Amino acid sequence: MKNKPIIILIGDMRGVFLEIFFKSLKKKQYKSPLLLICSKKEFEFQMKIFGFKKKIREVNFNNIFKTSINNKSINILNIDKKDYSVEKYNSKINNYYLVKSFKIAFDLIKKNYTNKLINGPINKKNFLSKKYLGITEYLASMFNKKDVGMLIYNKNLSVCPLTTHLPLKKVVKKITKKLIQNRIKMIDGFYKKNFKVKPKIGVTGINPHCESIDKINEDVSIVQKAIKYCTKLKINVKGPFSADTIFLKNNRKNYDVIMGMYHDQVLTPIKTLYEYNAINITMGLPFLRVSPDHGPNKNMYGQNKSNPESLAMALNFLDKK
């Protein structure tokens, strides 16, 4: 159902998220009500820094299903405590604040309050334990999902890394025919459901030029066989292709999505091509989770120089759902 609230978590408190949020609101009015789960004190503090003026409406968690919200004011579910305050900010406090924010958001989603979530950029190294490779895997664990996928989405071309924040020495050990098959099916299903499109999917190989000096070439024994299986399912997928040429203009125009074997193999070219004009979507969750496709960039905090394009795109995407 359209116009369900969009839950927004600001991510790291001392990142650029609120700056780009204020800039996004100045550009457009959204139909879906926006509900921020954050520190009201931090929000007001940054409002003063950036000269953003709008009435704040505090929403009570216990009465939230009886409370009608709209975007005439900023709706905040305040989790502010003395320890979260501006004066006492540090990374330990920030992490506790993030866990609390996510927990409240997950509770609301599980109670069917909404199916839309945006989280601001988070420094994964400080927030996540070694148990999770990234926020994608953290979200999957919280909803008992074994297989989720990262989609860096742009309407002209999207990419999906088969493995995410995994050291290169561990990548090949992780890749299996089943994993490739499941991810291709996930991309196909996600595009059909959310964009009403049967996507054209291109898949890169693991090795340079899809070649190997070893007796076993994984691009033949694993990737090629997985793709062949998916074509039998009537999925429009081709490959494996050499990663150093598939992103050339005359090649990439043939695909809606390019799936790569590891993180930087596809994220480097997509960010070079589109910079901030892309969003990070997690496929395979029981709700729509989107994040701006950039980090918190704490060095830019308070400077009013950050580009809001990716967040505006995330808001537009969920506003249509």
Task: Say yes or no: 260 and 214 in one domain.
Answer: yes
Q: Do 101 and 174 have their domain in common?
A: no
Cross-strand pairs, 257: 158, 201
Residues 250/254/256/259 CA torsion (nearest 10 deg): -80
For the cut 60, the answer to whether the pLDDT of residue 35 exceeds it is yes
Question: Are the C-beta atoms of residues 194 and 287 closer than 8 Å to each other?
Answer: no
118: amino acid identity, one letter? I
Cα angle: 183, vertex 103, 95; to 5 degrees: 95
Question: Does residue 95 sit in the same domain as residue 174?
Answer: no
Least confident interval from 46-55, 85-94, 300-309:
85-94
Same domain, yes or no: 141 and 70:
yes
- Residue 54's pLDDT band, with cuts at 50, 70 and 90, is very high
Higher pLDDT, 278 or 131: 278
| Same domain flag for 291 and 259 | no
The span from the CA of 65 to the CA of 75, in Å, is 14
pTM of the shown model = 0.92
Same domain for 68 and 35, yes or no, is yes
- Hunting for tokens 């059909």 — which residue is that? 192
pLDDT score, position 248: 97
**How high does pLDDT run on average in the chain?**
91
| d(C-alpha 196, C-alpha 318), whole Å | 15
Q: Does the pLDDT value for residue 306 go beyond 70?
A: yes
Q: Note whether 188 and 310 are same-domain residues.
A: no
Question: Which amino acid type is present at position 151?
Answer: L
Running DSSP on this structure, what letter comes out for residue 2? T
Domain shared by 211 and 132, yes or no: no
Higher pLDDT, 127 or 159: 159
E strands, the chain, are: 6-9, 34-38, 56-58, 74-78, 116-119, 149-153, 158-161, 201-204, 237-241, 257-260, 279-283, 288-292
Model confidence at 288: pLDDT above 70: yes
pLDDT bin (cut points 50, 70, 90) of residue 83 is very low
Does one domain contain both 88 and 176?
no
The pLDDT value recorded for residue 88 is: 53
Report which DSSP code applies to 76: E
Sheet containing 74-78, strands listed edge to edge, beginning at the edge strand earlier in sequence: 56-58, 74-78, 34-38, 6-9, 116-119, 288-292, 279-283, 149-153, 158-161, 257-260, 201-204, 237-241
pLDDT at 304 over 80: yes
Would you place residue 129 in the very low, low, confident or very high pLDDT band (cuts 50, 70, 90)?
low
Give the total number of structural domains in the chain.
2
80 and 180 within one domain: no
pLDDT of 305 strictly over 60: yes
**Is there a single domain that holds both residue 29 and residue 136?**
yes
Banded pLDDT at 84 (limits 50, 70, 90): very low
Sequence-separated contacts (24+) of 248-256 with Cβ below 8 Å:
251/202, 252/157, 252/202, 254/200, 254/202, 255/157, 255/200, 255/201, 255/202, 256/157, 256/158, 256/191, 256/197, 256/199, 256/200, 256/201
Kindly state whether residues 111 and 229 are assigned to the same domain: no
Is the pLDDT reported for residue 52 higher than 60?
Answer: yes
**The pLDDT of residue 93 is above 90:** no
CB atoms < 10 A from the CB of 76, how many? 21
Residues 219-259: pLDDT tens digits?
999 999 999 999 999 999 999 999 999 999 999 999 999 99
* 105: CATH: 3.40.718.10
pLDDT over threshold 60, residue 190: yes
Question: How confident is the model over 158-168, as a mean pLDDT?
Answer: 94
Burial class (CB in 10 A: 0-12, 13-18, 19+), 185: middle
User: Where residue 50 falls among pLDDT bands split at 50, 70, 90?
Assistant: very high
- Domain boundaries, position 264: 149-278
Decide if pLDDT at 98 tops 60. Answer: yes
